[in-house]
């Protein structure tokens, strides 16, 4: 008997609740987690699932460090006077917050953790194409993280996360060179991850897993990898040029010795605008999976959603100039960049519309991942639409370098990526750990995060519109009410992030054991045990069904309890 | 797409029958073909990132040359075109020896494989040696970007003579060093790639001597070959852009 069944067969062939344990061809006890307990087996592992967990620990650690900086910033902004820290220290606080959150958290978060774990599982492969390179990418991440952390610890950087010259050229006497080198190394970690995903998607798909049967998660990660491969080398060489300039006192970007500061901005944003999509597309990958599973419907317009990911990756490379509207860019160039920036909103909008259309007449259940996904759609819509304000030439001049920009990208990065990341962690937690998290606490904290997030960042739109500039530690007293609201929201947000940390750790020991497919989802990752064995599948799966083919509930065999009015409740199908 | 799926299905079938299991086949691949395809695609993808990496520097080159055309021409005159030309020939020769190494890997001729790998390494060292001589001359004349930047006066006079009474003779010495910033960045990063390539090639010689490669299993050699040709092609662009622009 094959261990892999189409989702239609599943309830008939996998009785889940027999008293002596589940009927499986393989004893469920052997899995990637308990295959070997030695430290060596973790640090030298080539198993993509273990490397994903190594990333999970390190990336989560830096998320909490970055959050501490955020809290310090919000604490300083509680009062109009700069009374907590000096201006120079404040410069370092927001720089460290930005560098840690972007380069050490957002960029690796979803691809390196969930992507690493799921890409081979979803396409029915035993591993990524290059397991050793995958491990190398984690070590490069750690080396880069150590270099960046040491730059922060011996004195810090005060240039802002984007290292603009002249803040970062020979005028700065903070540790720009060291931080730049760290990010250079982190870039290679990201390149290797992208390379692995691209090759894996091309060559490692299981028999029958055609391109249009791939889960949308894979399409989005493919697009993300394209950006990682084409964009990251450019930021690497930019930072190398900056390091070269500072080390040898030559002018590449410094105009006093022949350089061109705007060249830095062009090179930097050539990577860093697409990098926004490195952070965003994996989030969209998760949302597509969650929306389909929790509405129990095929994604509306699968091909449109798939190709919109590729379109975002391609168009994303043509819009960097919208960061230079108020630099020395010609008005004509500005108009073109403005136009393309509007155009890039189209594929993003296609996704939002298609998710919404998927919800229409679906059998929606409001589990924690779905709450995060619904929150994502709303917040990403706000983040995306306010982006259009900033892509308009005239409007942008008013809003540049104000809190409006800060609010905009936090709606996209936190309201978008971070919510998707949390939703994804909850959704695949049973698969990763083999345990269920407490659903009630999950829903509760999802709501706390949503409320806290909006309270933190919505006032910042207003502040920016009223003209409060970003990156100052003091502000006129009339802005105080909105700033206090924002800081209060940040505290709520901090609680919302701490609760999952506690109950997820708790569930590792005390959570109920998860079945193979607790959500009755369709992907291949649910057709193997939870947690999966080291080789992912006992037998190579042969795919004969389309992505997101959900069985109608009426056809499914009821294996669990019935509600008082003789109808099966949802959990009775999956045996939870 | 359909054929590819079919191939995989067939491949899976073969593997299930355990007809052959090459010792070089990694556990997560179904067969040698899949493993080789993955390696080749991986190397091409990597080379694309390399193009973007060098691309940033070429962009800087274009920008600074457009704003300082005379200075770039004068800077180019400071370089030793003979040594640069010899190095170009050396690198093209090393691409030939590399291609031959790949050929003898495919035909399974171990001794000629090792011989041509060693020849490639040797030519790589010749290139780096000549480059070191060029760098050394620049150091001794102080033609190093930075606070004490100087140029070789003899060559500067030659250049001015060449362009006598010409607008091109108006060279701002301070901006001249922009040429050398770009020159050292580009050739330095290129030389670093050569050094990495020589390191990789040495490992391949070691493996080849231990009979690791056969006509069925030699993709390491092919991938190293792709890399080596790429580094060679970068130099083919660098040579005219750096050495020849001042000499028309
Ligand atoms: Cu942008």
Is the alpha carbon torsion for A431, A432, A434, A440 positive or negative? negative
pLDDT at A489: 96
Query: Contact at 8 Å (CB) between A462 and A482?
Result: yes
Are the Cβ atoms of A234 and B181 closer than 8 angstroms? no
Which residues, other chains included, contact B104 with Cβ-Cβ below 8 Å and sequence gap of 6+?
Answer: B110, B112, B113, B116
Q: Which residues in chain B have Cβ-Cβ distances shorter than 8 Å to A240?
A: 185, 189
pLDDT at A248: 81
pTM for the predicted model, two decimal places: 0.90
Rg (CA), chain A: 24
- Three-state DSSP class for residue A80: coil
Going by pLDDT thresholds of 50, 70 and 90, the confidence category of residue A26 is very low
Q: Which residues in chain A have Cβ-Cβ distances shorter than 8 Å to B220?
A: none
pLDDT (tens digit per residue) in B58-88? 998 998 899 888 888 888 888 999 999 999 9
For the ranges A145-154, A494-503, A536-545, the lowest mean pLDDT is seen at A536-545
Q: Which of A5, A1, A2 is closest to A517 using CA atoms?
A: A5
pLDDT at B77: 85
The whole-number average pLDDT for the span A126-138 is: 95
Nearest to B145 among A126, A230, A248 (CB): A248
Q: Which of A233, A204, A231 is closest to A218 using CA atoms?
A: A204
DSSP collapsed to 3 states, A158-196: CCCCCCCCCCCCCCCCCCHHHHHHHHHHHHHHHHHHHHH
pLDDT (tens digit per residue) in A95-111? 999 999 999 999 999 99
- For the cut 50, the answer to whether the pLDDT of residue A380 exceeds it is yes
DSSP B89: H
Pure H helices in A101-256: 107-108, 116-123, 131-153, 176-203, 216-248
pLDDT (tens digit per residue) in A390-436? 999 889 999 999 999 999 999 999 999 999 999 999 999 999 999 99
DSSP B146: S
β-sheet bridge partners, residue B217: B214
Are the Cβ atoms of A260 and B63 closer than 8 angstroms? yes
With CA atoms as reference, the chain A residue closest to B30 would be A204
Pure H helices in A392-438: 393-399, 403-412, 419-433
For residue A531, say if its preceding peptide bond is cis, omega within 30 degrees of 0.
Answer: yes
Structure tokens that stand for A218 in this block:
């894979």
Q: Which of A452, A440, A453 is closest to A506 using CA atoms?
A: A440
Distance CA A293, CA A364 (A): 9
For the ranges A238-247, A272-281, A296-305, A434-443, the lowest mean pLDDT is seen at A238-247
Which residues, other chains included, contact A151 with Cβ-Cβ below 8 Å and sequence gap of 6+?
Answer: A157, A175, A178, A179, A182
pLDDT at A520: 86
Structure tokens that stand for A217 in this block:
């998660």
Query: Contact at 8 Å (CB) between A386 and A396?
Result: no
Query: Contact at 8 Å (CB) between B39 and B28?
Result: no
pLDDT at A5: 45
pLDDT at A25: 46
What is the value of ipTM here, to two decimals? 0.86
What's chain B's average pLDDT?
Answer: 86
pLDDT (tens digit per residue) in B208-226? 999 889 888 889 999 999 9
Distance CA A469, CA B29 (A): 55
pLDDT (tens digit per residue) in A65-121? 999 999 999 999 999 998 899 999 999 999 999 999 999 999 999 999 999 999 999
Are the Cβ atoms of A198 and B45 closer than 8 angstroms? yes
- For the cut 70, the answer to whether the pLDDT of residue A19 exceeds it is no
Query: Contact at 8 Å (CB) between A289 and A215?
Result: yes
User: Which of residues A255 and B7 earns the better pLDDT score?
Assistant: A255
pLDDT at A564: 56
User: Which of residues A298 and B14 earns the better pLDDT score?
Assistant: A298
pLDDT (tens digit per residue) in A439-479? 999 999 999 999 999 999 999 999 999 999 999 999 999 99
Query: Contact at 8 Å (CB) between A404 and A464?
Result: yes
pLDDT at B153: 77
Which residues, other chains included, contact B48 with Cβ-Cβ below 8 Å and sequence gap of 6+?
Answer: A229, A230
Distance CA A191, CA B53 (A): 11
pLDDT (tens digit per residue) in A309-319? 999 999 999 99
Nearest to B41 among A199, A249, A251 (CB): A199
How many Cα atoms occupy the beta-carbon half-sphere of B184 within 13 Å?
Answer: 19
pLDDT (tens digit per residue) in A168-225? 877 777 889 999 999 999 999 999 999 999 999 999 999 999 999 999 999 999 999 9
Distances from the Cα of B174 to the Cα of A17, A256, B177, angstroms:
80, 10, 6
What's chain A's average pLDDT?
Answer: 88
pLDDT (tens digit per residue) in B107-150? 989 999 999 999 999 999 999 999 999 999 988 888 888 777 87
pLDDT at A165: 82
Query: Contact at 8 Å (CB) between A389 and A383?
Result: no
The alpha carbon of A274 and the centre of ligand 1 are apart by a number of angstroms equal to: 7
User: Which of residues A28 and A67 earns the better pLDDT score?
Assistant: A67
**Domains within chain A, CATH numbers bracketed:** 31-571 (1.20.210.10)
pLDDT (tens digit per residue) in A561-574? 555 555 544 444 44
Which residues, other chains included, contact A37 with Cβ-Cβ below 8 Å and sequence gap of 6+?
Answer: none
Are the Cβ atoms of A207 and B59 closer than 8 angstroms? no
Nearest to B1 among A133, A210, A249 (CB): A210
Distances from the Cα of A157 to the Cα of A91, A306, B90, angstroms:
8, 40, 45
**Domains within chain B, CATH numbers bracketed:** 35-244 (1.20.120.80)
Distances from the Cα of A532 to the Cα of A68, A118, A529, B15, B18, angstroms:
35, 11, 5, 22, 24
Query: Contact at 8 Å (CB) between A92 and A156?
Result: yes
Pure H helices in B30-80: 32-67, 69-77
pLDDT at A556: 56
The alpha carbon of B230 and the centre of ligand 1 are apart by a number of angstroms equal to: 32
Q: Which residues in chain A have Cβ-Cβ distances shorter than 8 Å to B2?
A: 210
pLDDT at A544: 86
């Amino acid at each position: 008997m094959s261990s892999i069944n189409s989702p239609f067969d599943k309830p008939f062939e996998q009785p889940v609740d027999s008293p002596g344990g589940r009927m499986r061809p393989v004893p469920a006890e052997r899995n990637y987690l308990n295959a070997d307990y030695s430290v060596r087996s973790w640090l030298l592992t080539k198993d993509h699932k273990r490397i994903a967990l190594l990333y999970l620990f390190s990336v989560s650690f830096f998320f909490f460090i970055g959050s501490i900086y955020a809290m310090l910033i919000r604490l300083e902004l509680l009062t109009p006077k700069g009374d907590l820290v000096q201006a120079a220290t404040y410069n370092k606080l927001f720089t460290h917050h930005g560098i840690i959150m972007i380069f050490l958290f957002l960029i690796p978060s979803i691809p390196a953790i969930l992507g690493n774990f799921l890409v081979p599982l979803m396409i029915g492969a035993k591993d990524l194409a290059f397991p050793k390179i995958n491990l190398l990418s984690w070590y490069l991440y750690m080396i880069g993280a150590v270099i960046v952390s040491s730059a922060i610890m011996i004195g810090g950087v005060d240039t802002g996360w984007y290292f603009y010259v002249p803040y970062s050229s020979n005028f700065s006497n903070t540790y720009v060179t060291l931080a730049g080198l760290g990010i250079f190394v982190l870039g290679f970690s990201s390149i290797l991850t992208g390379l692995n995903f691209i090759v894996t998607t091309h060559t490692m798909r299981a028999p029958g897993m055609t391109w249009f049967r791939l889960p949308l998660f894979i399409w989005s990660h493919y697009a993300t990898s394209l950006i990682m491969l084409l964009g990251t080398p450019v930021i690497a060489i930019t930072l190398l040029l900056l390091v070269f300039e500072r080390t040898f006192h030559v002018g590449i970007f410094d105009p006093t010795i022949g350089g061109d500061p705007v060249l830095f901005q062009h090179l930097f944003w050539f990577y860093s605008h697409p990098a926004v999509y490195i952070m965003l597309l994996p989030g969209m990958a998760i949302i597509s999976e969650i929306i389909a599973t929790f509405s129990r419907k095929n994604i509306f317009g699968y091909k449109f959603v798939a190709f919109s990911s590729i379109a975002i990756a391609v168009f994303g490379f043509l819009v960097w100039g919208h960061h230079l509207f108020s630099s020395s860019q010609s008005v004509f160039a500005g108009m073109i960049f403005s136009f393309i920036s509007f155009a890039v909103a189209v594929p993003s909008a296609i996704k939002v519309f298609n998710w919404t259309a998927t919800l229409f007449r679906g059998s929606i259940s409001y589990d924690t991942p779905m709450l995060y996904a619904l929150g994502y759609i709303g917040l990403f819509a706000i983040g995306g639409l306010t982006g259009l304000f900033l892509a308009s030439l005239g409007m942008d001049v008013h809003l540049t370098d104000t809190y409006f920009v800060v609010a905009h990208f936090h709606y996209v990065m936190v309201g978008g990526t971070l919510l998707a990341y949390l939703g994804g962690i909850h959704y695949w937690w049973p698969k990763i750990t083999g345990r269920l998290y407490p659903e009630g606490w999950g829903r509760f904290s999802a709501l706390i995060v949503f409320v806290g997030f909006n309270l933190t960042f919505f006032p910042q739109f207003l502040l920016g519109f009223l003209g409060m500039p970003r990156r100052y530690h003091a502000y006129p007293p009339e802005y105080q009410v909105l700033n206090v609201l924002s800081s209060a929201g940040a505290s709520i947000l901090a609680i919302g992030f701490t609760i999952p940390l506690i109950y997820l750790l708790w569930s590792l020991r005390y959570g109920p054991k998860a079945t193979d497919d607790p959500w009755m989802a369709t992907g291949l990752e649910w057709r193997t045990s939870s947690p999966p064995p080291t080789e992912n599948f006992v037998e190579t799966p042969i795919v004969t069904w389309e992505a997101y083919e959900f069985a109608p509930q009426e056809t499914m065999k009821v294996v669990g309890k019935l509600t008082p009015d003789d109808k099966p409740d949802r959990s009775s199908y999956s045996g939870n | 797409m359909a054929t590819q799926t079919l191939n995989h299905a067939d491949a899976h079938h073969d593997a299930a029958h355990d007809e052959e299991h090459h010792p070089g086949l990694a556990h997560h691949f179904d067969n040698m073909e899949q493993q080789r395809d993955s390696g080749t695609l991986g190397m091409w993808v990597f080379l694309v990132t390399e193009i973007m990496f060098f691309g940033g520097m070429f962009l800087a080159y274009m920008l600074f040359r457009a704003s300082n055309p005379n200075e770039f021409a004068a800077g180019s005159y400071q370089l030793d075109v003979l040594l640069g030309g010899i190095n170009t020939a050396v690198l093209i020769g090393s691409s030939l020896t590399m291609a031959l190494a790949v050929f003898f890997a495919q035909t399974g001729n171990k001794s000629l494989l090792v011989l041509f790998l060693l020849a490639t390494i040797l030519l790589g060292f010749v290139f780096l040696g000549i480059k070191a001589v060029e760098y050394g001359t620049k150091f001794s004349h102080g033609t190093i970007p930075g606070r004490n930047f100087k140029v070789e006066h003899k060559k500067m006079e030659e250049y001015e003579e060449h362009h006598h009474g010409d607008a091109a003779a108006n060279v701002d010495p301070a901006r001249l060093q922009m040429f050398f910033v770009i020159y050292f960045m580009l050739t330095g990063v290129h030389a670093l790639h050569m050094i990495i390539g020589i390191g990789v090639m040495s490992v391949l010689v070691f493996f080849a001597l231990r009979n690791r490669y056969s006509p069925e299993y030699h993709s390491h050699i092919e991938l190293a070959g792709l890399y080596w040709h790429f580094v060679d092609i970068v130099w083919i662009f660098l040579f005219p852009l750096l050495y020849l622009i001042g000499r028309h």
